[in-house]
Amino acid sequence: MTQIKNIGILCSGGDSPGMNCAIRAVVRTAINNGLQPYGIVRGYQGLLEGNFIPMNASSVGNILQHGGTILQTSRCKEFHEPDIRKEAAHILRRKKIDALVVIGGDGSFNGAWALHEEHKVIVAGIPGTIDNDISGTDYTIGFDTAVQTAVDAVDKIRDTAHSHARTFIVEVMGRRSPAIALHVGVCTGAENVIYPKDEIDFDSIASDIKRGMSRGKNSSIIICAEGNKPGLAYEAQKGLKEKFGIDAHVCILGHIQRGGNPSAIDRFIASKMGYRAVSEILAGKQAFVTAYIKGEVTSVPLQECLKKKDEYLPQNMELVKTLSI
């Protein structure tokens, strides 16, 4: 078994609130166990550029309450190429990194898995994305904070929607994952949630809006998951106008959902995952993810976390519709 002395840590893909807590936990657990942690700046891109910083306990002081990531992150398309990964493995060897901790989403984990499969690099994944859409884990760091940020925004929109008797379509992040949209829909009393899996069901949205109006409601909120790229809410706005003559305002929340101080839940889970990642590396695990399953942080083989999970929970949609009559 490789004797672990140095571990590298990087963030990859979209940042998420709580990543700093995970970095802090990895660094301090490593130091507590006599290891030397190295921060790799700007994800796989920084790895390829050899951008490694030795870290100590003070490097991660006063960061756990801040959003973003002190290590910065990137989306590195080059990493899909085998030759580039070969170069990355070579750099890790040259820098004497014995294990690599990757905080990110399914794309980042696929990169980590390839590094392990092709070059036997010891890799630990920590799920960090606001989308909560990775297979093999019930939770990804940042989701709770992002949902709360969106809920706060929708509460404010509800105030003005009510004052002006308007319908709003509020677009939230999450690409094709409906997780953020459904949670926000339940928590804000939205009339309907659009998630980009099927065609937009204009009949159902219009009938939900009209049903509310007929019992005296003067405002409606429709939550829309963004889809492949931001802007699905404009399609919904156009359809409602053309098909039913309903005027709706659009508000796209965008990247504010990725920032902000992490919630206590995100801090707690990220801290536990960071600790667990180092403990499992020391216990000899080679390729795993720290997963949150049934309320506990545990670890699962990395192969189980390479896909997007289909988070659509029909019961949540049912809840939105039942409670917003």
Taking the least distance from each CB to ligand F6P, the nearer of 75 and 249 is 75
Nearest to 112 by CA among 11, 39, 41, 14: 11
Nearest to 180 by CA among 220, 153, 209, 202: 153
- Choosing from 20, 108, 129, 271, the residue that interacts with ligand F6P (CB under 6 A) is 129
- Choosing from 14, 37, 46, 196, the residue that interacts with ligand F6P (CB under 6 A) is 14
Please tell me the distance from the alpha carbon of residue 144 to that of residue 134, in angstroms, as a whole number. Answer: 15
- Choosing from 174, 178, 185, 262, the residue that interacts with ligand F6P (CB under 6 A) is 174
Buried b / exposed e over 51-74, threshold 16 CB at 10 Å, is: bbeebeeebbeebbebbbbbbbbb
For residue 106, state whether it binds ligand F6P (rule: CB under 6 A). Answer: no
For residue 12, state whether it binds ligand F6P (rule: CB under 6 A). Answer: no
Taking the least distance from each CB to ligand F6P, the nearer of 244 and 312 is 312
- Choosing from 98, 106, 131, 311, the residue that interacts with ligand F6P (CB under 6 A) is 131
Taking the least distance from each CB to ligand F6P, the nearer of 11 and 55 is 11
For residue 175, state whether it binds ligand F6P (rule: CB under 6 A). Answer: yes
Q: How far is the CB of 304 from ligand F6P (least distance, A)?
A: 20
- Write out the DSSP string of 7-40: EEEEE-SS--TTHHHHHHHHHHHHHHTT-EEEEE
For residue 130, state whether it binds ligand F6P (rule: CB under 6 A). Answer: yes
Catalytic member of 15, 98, 131, 133? 131
- Binding residues for ligand F6P, total number by CB under 6 A: 11
Question: Which pair of structure tokens corresponds to residue 107?
Answer: 């794309």
For residue 173, state whether it binds ligand F6P (rule: CB under 6 A). Answer: yes
Nearest to 129 by CA among 114, 144, 111, 115: 144
For residue 68, state whether it binds ligand F6P (rule: CB under 6 A). Answer: no
Instruction: Tell me which H or E stretch contains 139.
Output: none
List, in order, residues 6 or more apart from 131 with CB less than 8 Å away: 14, 105, 140, 143, 173, 174, 175, 177, 179, 180
For residue 266, state whether it binds ligand F6P (rule: CB under 6 A). Answer: no
Contact set for ligand F6P, span 191-230 (CB under 6 A): 226
Q: Which residues bind ligand F6P (CB under 6 A)?
A: 13-14, 75, 129-131, 173-175, 226, 258
